[in-house]
């Protein structure tokens, strides 16, 4: 049984701005579904059903229309001016068995205690090669470093990957770590400048004696 949220829709017979405004007044959100060489269909769904799905960040849904159910990914969500209400959205049909190999961006979030202690955060990998079902493909891999202390690291094996996803990088590979700040090398000029200063008038006093 699928763990993805259900999204039941009704077909839109009337298109255009006046028709979509009427739908929104009735608590419905217009959308389109496309892909897999099938026709693009205009539909509408209840805002009470869609909004919690959008808010949860869930991208894959079980879309049903006229008794037909198919997997789809939420795409191109359009918001109102103040980014409070969804005005329109698109769905892309996907095959639940299709797999993809690609790279996903690694994003670091939070402030590490090791940085507050004077260390430097180094991110050695900004993208992760990943292989997974297309319906599980994450937009980003989030690393939270709020517990990372000086000298500690996050390895590939520590990453929280979606179900059925894997990477070709070795598990022991370092992705993020906190290192000691590098000390600048001492130059010859600085060495010469640190020599004992000459006492003004010392030679003069010695000659007089």
pLDDT in tens, 86-123: 889 999 998 888 888 888 889 999 999 999 999 999 99
pLDDT reported for residue 129: 94
**Cβ burial 157-189 (10 Å sphere, 16+ → b, else e):** eebebeeebebebeeeeebbbbeeeeeeeeeee
Q: Is the pLDDT of residue 186 over 80?
A: no
Q: Is residue 23 part of a domain?
A: yes
CA dist 147 and 97 (Å) reads: 37
Q: Is the pLDDT of residue 206 over 70?
A: no
pLDDT reported for residue 150: 94
- Which of 11-15, 117-121, 145-149 comes out lowest in average pLDDT? 11-15
In this structure, the answer to whether residues 70 and 116 fall within a common structural domain is no
Residue 157, domain CATH: 2.170.120.20
Q: Which two tokens stand for residue 187?
A: 């130059």
CA dist 150 and 153 (Å) reads: 9
Of the chain, the percentage scoring pLDDT greater than 90 comes to: 48
Confidence of residue 12 (pLDDT cuts 50, 70, 90): confident
Q: Is residue 200 part of a domain?
A: no
**Mean pLDDT across the chain, nearest whole number?**
86
In this structure, the answer to whether residues 14 and 73 fall within a common structural domain is yes
pTM: 0.60
Which pLDDT tens digit goes with each residue over 51-92? 999 888 778 899 999 889 999 988 889 898 888 888 899 999
Higher local confidence (pLDDT), 178 or 99? 178
Q: Is residue 206 part of a domain?
A: no
CA dist 4 and 59 (Å) reads: 9
pLDDT reported for residue 20: 83
pLDDT reported for residue 138: 83
Which pLDDT tens digit goes with each residue over 130-144? 998 888 888 789 999
Identify the domain containing residue 11 by its residue range: 6-93
pLDDT, mean of residues 18-46? 89
Confidence of residue 196 (pLDDT cuts 50, 70, 90): low
3-state secondary structure 15-31: CCHHHHHHHHHCCEEEE
Which residues make Cβ contacts (< 8 Å) with residue 58, sequence separation at least 6? 4, 5, 74
Q: Is residue 41 part of a domain?
A: yes
**Cβ burial 12-38 (10 Å sphere, 16+ → b, else e):** beeeeeeebeebbeeebbbbbbebeee
Residue 23, domain CATH: 2.40.240.10
Task: Quote the radius of gyration of the chain (alpha carbons, Å).
Answer: 30
CA dist 128 and 169 (Å) reads: 8
In this structure, the answer to whether residues 88 and 147 fall within a common structural domain is no
Confidence of residue 169 (pLDDT cuts 50, 70, 90): very high
């Amino acid at each position: 049984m699928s763990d993805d949220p259900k999204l039941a829709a009704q077909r839109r017979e009337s298109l255009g701005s006046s028709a979509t405004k009427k739908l929104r007044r009735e608590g419905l959100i217009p959308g389109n579904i496309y892909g897999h060489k099938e026709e693009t269909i205009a539909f509408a769904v209840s805002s009470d059903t869609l909004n919690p799905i959008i808010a949860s960040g869930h991208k894959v849904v079980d879309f049903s229309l006229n008794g037909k159910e198919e997997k789809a990914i939420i795409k191109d969500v359009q918001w109102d001016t103040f980014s409070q209400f969804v005005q329109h959205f698109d769905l892309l049909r996907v095959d639940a068995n299709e797999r993809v190999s690609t790279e996903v961006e690694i994003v670091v979030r939070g402030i590490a205690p090791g940085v507050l202690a004077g260390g430097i955060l180094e991110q050695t990998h900004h993208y992760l090669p990943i292989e997974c079902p297309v319906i599980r493909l994450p937009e980003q891999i989030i690393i939270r470093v709020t517990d990372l202390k000086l000298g500690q690291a996050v390895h590939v094996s520590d990453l929280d990957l979606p179900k059925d996803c894997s990477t070709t990088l070795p598990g022991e590979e370092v992705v993020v770590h906190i290192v000691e700040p590098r000390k600048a090398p001492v130059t010859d000029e600085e060495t010469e400048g640190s020599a004992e200063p000459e006492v003004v008038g010392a030679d003069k006093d010695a000659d007089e004696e």
